Amino acid sequence: MKRIVQTVICAILFVLPYFGFSQSTYNQTTDMDVNGVFIGSTYTKSQVEAKFGGIPTKYWSGMSEFGLEEEYYYTTNLFRFSYNGIFDTFNIKTSYFSVYTAFSGGIKVGDNISRISAIGLGTPVLQSNGTYTLLRGDWDDPLIFSHSSGVITQIRFVTSP
């Protein structure tokens, strides 16, 4: 009996971090990726490093009530993994990383904002603060594009809690 209780407790503790993530929109893999790393999917440190081209210029990790939280910096680009490795946030400022790679190679910093529509991702909406946002499907969180004269200078995505 003691063994059964221990097994049940271990199972609950293993699954518990995922309940927090499942309350957000991204409780499963989405079609949004960065260089083949998909929002909502779980990755280990070695998998992230393999996909993003090696050891990051800066790495941070810590534990929260939801499990392991990690941040990878590749120069000025930030990628965040929460809830024990679930990819949920990025801030891209260089042209090395592409978003939505399945759509004709995707979009990246340096592309014209019109490329978003041209490759079939939808029409970005100009916001009052000068950024463009793109919502796909029933998502609550937009992909955000900063630009200069129509050329993308930054691509951001943050999962809401």
Q: Is residue 74 a contact partner of residue 109, using CB atoms and an 8 Å limit? A: no
How far apart CA 115 and CA 5 sit, in angstroms, is 55
- Residue 47 to residue 127: CA distance in whole angstroms: 35
Mind listing the pLDDT tens digit for each residue in 7-25? 444 344 444 344 443 334 3
Low-confidence ranges of the chain (pLDDT < 70): 1-29, 138, 161
Number of domains the chain contains: 1
pTM, two decimals, is 0.80
- 157, with CB counted inside 10 A (0-12, 13-18, 19+), is buried
Residue count of the chain: 161
> What's the token pair of residue 70?
């990690």
Question: Range of 139's domain?
Answer: 2-158
Render pLDDT for 20-41 as a digit per residue (tens, 0 to 9): 433 343 445 678 999 999 999 9
Instruction: Kindly list the distances between the CA atom of residue 63 and the CA atoms of 20, 25, 69, 83, in Å, as whole numbers in the listed order.
Output: 14, 22, 6, 9
